[in-house]
Structure 1
Amino acid sequence: MQVIGLCRFSYPAIGGFQVKHETTEDRIGFLYNEERLMERFQLIETIALPCLRAQTDQQFDLIVVIGDSLPKHHEDRLRDLCADIPQIRIHAEPPRRQREVMKEVLNAARRDPSQPCIQFRHDDDDAVSVDFVERLRQTVIDCPGLVDRNPTVAIDFNRGFIAEVGASGMAAAATMKPYNVAALGMYVRGGSAKTIMNFAHHKLNQFMPTVTITDAPMWLRTHNQYNDSRQSGAHVVDVTPVTPELAGEIEARFAIEPDHIRRVFSAL
């Protein structure tokens, strides 16, 4: 069964952001701000990509959507960071309505639309456990009656970490929250054009059956300066510097290395 992931990297969509801009040009200016992009590159390098390289099930596809106006030196840097992950394909689009574009991209990525698939979203500042793809696939196998009777079924791993990262390393807090973007997948029946982008992630349980698995931390979400969802009225999470023991657990589960974080965030 094909597993397809979707990641936006500073794509200047029309809509789809909680931070408001008057014009598309204003949004592009915000997204391509050099300071902001520096942080996004630091996060994708240290947080979002290592867990993909280390997946125990390597049979997945990930489309990274960028704007066709992303400056060439930034696009080249992104391609260099992703070059050793053959599952990744970088796809450029002009500014369009976010959900319209993302639904098209996901459906175009299906090698055989008559067959079922599993889809997930992957933010460029979050990580999933190294066995995420394997467990997504296994969960569908474990629920034959449910997937047979429903065109879509959500799969939610609701346990994880909130983290802050920087030149001093990582601080984190264990938490449990349902229907985050990270470590949330969706089964789609063969022949259906529905995608995970048809639905707001926190409302998936209003439209389909959901399977919740809570036995292990499966996602790590970073709080950082440019989280779109945290720009106003954000809930503050108290994080503490990770102990050596917790750092070892996070590295084993997410392939995140504290020394790598310190090096990247300390570089000029």
Structure 2
Amino acid sequence: MRVQMLGLCRLSYLGGRGFQVMHETIEERRAFLYDPERLARRWFWFENVTLPGLLAQTDPDFTLILMTGPDLPEPYLSRLRELTEIMPQARLELIPPMEKHLDACLAATAPHIQHDADVVGHFRQDDDDAVAIDYIHDARQDFAVLQPLWERRRRLSCDYSRGLVLKATQKGVLVEPRMIYNAAAGLTVYLPPDAQRSVMHFPHWKIGMSMPGATLPGKVMFVRFLNHDNDSGAIGAGYPWEGDPSDWQALLARRFRIHLDTLDHAARDFSLPGADRPRWGV
């Protein structure tokens, strides 16, 4: 079976619902999302946490939708356009503000569904998290083993549950190895091409209510990056795994092309505490 791998990355999308930080008016939300200092931080994390692993995928056959609003301030809108020119997998979707966030996400993803594929492997790529360089390869290859389970309901999730949590504050970046059940990063939702759903239709923290799933914990497959501008900042259900702290820098470079020293220096320069969220870092 041919599996299309399709990712959705939302970058400061201005719309209703879909987020935990809420605002009374669209003007308040625009001011929050488009604050120049916030946008500068978000772009830095996107460039230094998210993009390196995607650009280094061992299987380059995937599509990444970059979803934002048509009024995203410069220079960031131009930078996204430039990214689509140098990254063959990137597609820019400028979605006007929509009250229903799921409708907005579907509007961004639907034009990129390959209807001649047998299965679409949807994944959510937050703009400050990362997946390992072999994520696309493994998600496509592992489906072959999981196919009988998928055929029961024509829906299936595959959770790569071993990862690293990076926590940025004014003191620098801390690294914590974690097993997290159905974290947003490293979670694939396999659907038929005619499902008329996006990955966002299935909240990752309760995905078991929507479909059967498999957990593959062997490899370090994701980075969950906690920083001042997270929408929630909650780590998610799970527990630590034992690792060698002296290896974190090499592991991040090898598996994600992330340079820990660069993030650590940036966190100190930004000099921001943890976000004011009820479960930030928990």
Note whether the superposition's TM-score is higher than 0.5.
yes
Tell me how far apart the structure 1 counterparts of residues 232 and 266 of structure 2 sit (CA, whole Å). Answer: 24
Could you say which residue in structure 2 is the equivalent of 1:134?
137
Contact 1:61 1:87 survives alignment (8 Å): yes
Tell me how far apart the structure 2 counterparts of residues 196 and 75 of structure 1 sit (CA, whole Å). Answer: 24
Could you say which residue in structure 1 is the equivalent of 2:150?
147
Tell me how far apart the structure 2 counterparts of residues 77 and 168 of structure 1 sit (CA, whole Å). Answer: 30
Tell me how far apart the structure 2 counterparts of residues 126 and 117 of structure 1 sit (CA, whole Å). Answer: 22
Query: 1:16 and 2:10 equivalent?
Result: no
Could you give the per-residue CA deviations for residues 204-226 of structure 1, whole angstroms, max 9, x where no partner exists? 11110001111122110111011
Structure 1 portions without partners, runs of 5+: none
DSSP-derived class of the 2:86 partner: coil
Could you say which residue in structure 2 is the equivalent of 1:199?
202
Alpha-carbon deviation of 1:83? Answer: 4.2
Say which is worse superposed, 249-258 or 103-112, in terms of deviation. Answer: 103-112
- CA gap 1:114/1:144 in 2 versus in 1, 3 angstroms: closer
The code of the aligned residue for 2:184 comes to V
- CA gap 1:166/1:248 in 2 versus in 1, 3 angstroms: farther
Could you say which residue in structure 1 is the equivalent of 2:48?
46
Query: 1:87 and 2:84 equivalent?
Result: no
DSSP-derived class of the 2:157 partner: strand
1:65 aligned to which of 67, 70, 73: 67
Could you give the per-residue CA deviations for residues 8-63 of structure 1, whole angstroms, max 9, x where no partner exists? 00001211111110011111110000111111011001000001011111000000
Alpha-carbon deviation of 1:166? Answer: 7.5
Structure 2 portions without partners, runs of 5+: 271-282
Could you say which residue in structure 2 is the equivalent of 1:32?
34
Contact 2:34 2:72 survives alignment (8 Å): yes
Tell me how far apart the structure 2 counterparts of residues 23 and 39 of structure 1 sit (CA, whole Å). Answer: 24
Say which is worse superposed, 181-190 or 7-16, in terms of deviation. Answer: 181-190
- CA gap 1:167/1:252 in 2 versus in 1, 3 angstroms: farther
TM-score using structure 1 length: 0.89
| Aligned-residue identity in percent | 32
2:222 aligned to which of 189, 211, 219: 219
TM-score using structure 2 length: 0.84
- CA gap 1:192/1:77 in 2 versus in 1, 3 angstroms: closer
Query: 1:254 and 2:252 equivalent?
Result: no
Task: Provide the aligned length of Structure 1 versus Structure 2.
Answer: 262
The code of the aligned residue for 1:26 comes to E
Could you say which residue in structure 2 is the equivalent of 1:106?
109
2:165 aligned to which of 159, 162, 165: 162
